[in-house]
Amino acid sequence: MTEIELKREARRKDMLESKISRIIPVVALPMVITMLIDSFYNMADTFFVSQLGIAATAAVGINDSTMHFIRCIAMGFGMGAASYISRLLGAKRHDDASKVGTTTLITSFIFMIFLGAIAYLFIGPIVTFLGATPTIKPYCIQYARFILLAAPFTAGEVVLNQLLRSEGSTVYSMVGMCSGCIINLLLDPLFINVLDMGVAGAACATAISKVISFSILLIPFLRRKSIIELKLRFFTPKAWIYKEVVRMGVPTTLRAGSMLVSHILLNNVANDYGDAALAAISVASKCTRIVGSAILGFTMGFQPVAGYCWGARRYKRILEAFRFALLVGIAAILILGAAVFIFAPQLIAVFSSKGGDIVPLGVLALRTQCASLACHMWVQLMSSLYQSIGRAINSAVIGLSRQVICFIPCLYILAALFGAEGVACTQCAADVLSLFISLPLFFRIRRELLGLAAKAGEENELLHERTV
């Protein structure tokens, strides 16, 4: 066997035979670190830009939607491919997995070049649509220009990250993301303060960090350290690849897109209460994103294990993995959430150094979101479970429940009843309601997996009897 074939067999054995209590932390921990690092990209920008004033701080919050739009398209490509690749590797279809990875990466890069160019031409109307006020708009345009120029590399970074995750190579993914974050942190003060580029400097630093991160994430593929191979000969723009990537990627894009829509609506509603309210809720969302990133990273660590098990028809192991991930995930997130809850005033105050009192409203938004973190963990894990086994519609319903089905009605009802304080409490209310939507789907998939496990056991017994 070649070196890469030995790696594939060893990884498959790990996913299917190692103790659940060992393999999920091994796969998930680098993903948690990776997602936390990713959240620090925007946190770094917000910290340095906050020194320039409330308008500049709010502008970075508005442009979260621009970055999020790019990422939600890229996540559709990346997670659609990752779900398919994990199942292909579990079924020992290694060449097909490499074809899916190569085709998805090249396609996403080309697609984002065209999409970024179109957005660049209409940058003014776009930032207005995203919720920019006249005082914030000039800062928003400065920031968005650099973000759009780096859009293809941002998409490539996301896809490469997901490809490494799909095969369980989460350490390589972590290294690539860490490198980009360090570059971002070093360049922010240089461009903003030393070169006096202001908001544009923060965006430029982020753009450069995305290019570097993309380049570093390519290294394991170029050096043949990965299980999946990325080669031009594997570029296969065929219907069978795009069909499955789109089928599983669309729920991810819808889920991520729903977050974008809710963020835009939140900005526009908060806009009615002034720049300080908009900045407060924006900063609280960024602080909560630290914990949310840990949740997302942990569920991403669970997903390749479940995908391998589905491809190998190890159905009971999927339920064991889900149970372990749920218990450990909720315990960890409650501890982390409690820390953020306690130190909420200090966290918000870090980003309010240039006038304007954004602390009270920001603390309310941050603490209410911490109170519903267990619900968030459950919903995210349920969505990952359905996605890992190729159930696109159910994954989409669960994902949309949190940010559309529950969030939008809560936003307008609570804003009408309680004003800015109601807006600050919206995400908490949506998280709790989405938990109840996902419960029936859990009992449904549990029954199905137990039934499939029993059937697979019977077939194995018959096969054994015939062999004997």
pLDDT in tens, 296-353: 777 777 887 888 888 888 888 899 989 998 998 888 888 888 888 888 888 777 766 5
pLDDT of 361 over the 60 cut: yes
User: Nearest Cα to 153, choosing from 109, 114, 217?
Assistant: 109
Q: What is the mean pLDDT of residues 373-396?
A: 84
* Residue 468 maps to a domain: no
Q: How many domains does the chain have?
A: 1
* Residue 390 maps to a domain: yes
Predicted pLDDT at 462: 40
Q: Which residue has the tokens 């004003």?
A: 419
pLDDT of 374 over the 80 cut: yes
Predicted pLDDT at 111: 92
The Cα 266–Cα 291 span in angstroms is 20
pLDDT of 465 over the 50 cut: no
Residues contacting residue 339 through CB under 8 Å, at least 6 positions apart: none
* Residue 427 maps to a domain: yes
DSSP 133: -
* Residue 134 maps to a domain: yes
The residue count for the chain = 468
Residue 303 lies in domain: 20-461
Predicted pLDDT at 468: 36
Residues contacting residue 233 through CB under 8 Å, at least 6 positions apart: none
What residue type is 199 in one-letter code?
V
* Residue 221 maps to a domain: yes
Task: For the chain, give the percent of residues with pLDDT over 70.
Answer: 85
* Residue 268 maps to a domain: yes
The pTM score is 0.68
* Residue 381 maps to a domain: yes
Give the residue, 354 or 274, on which the prediction is more confident: 274
* Residue 6 maps to a domain: no
pLDDT of 446 over the 70 cut: yes
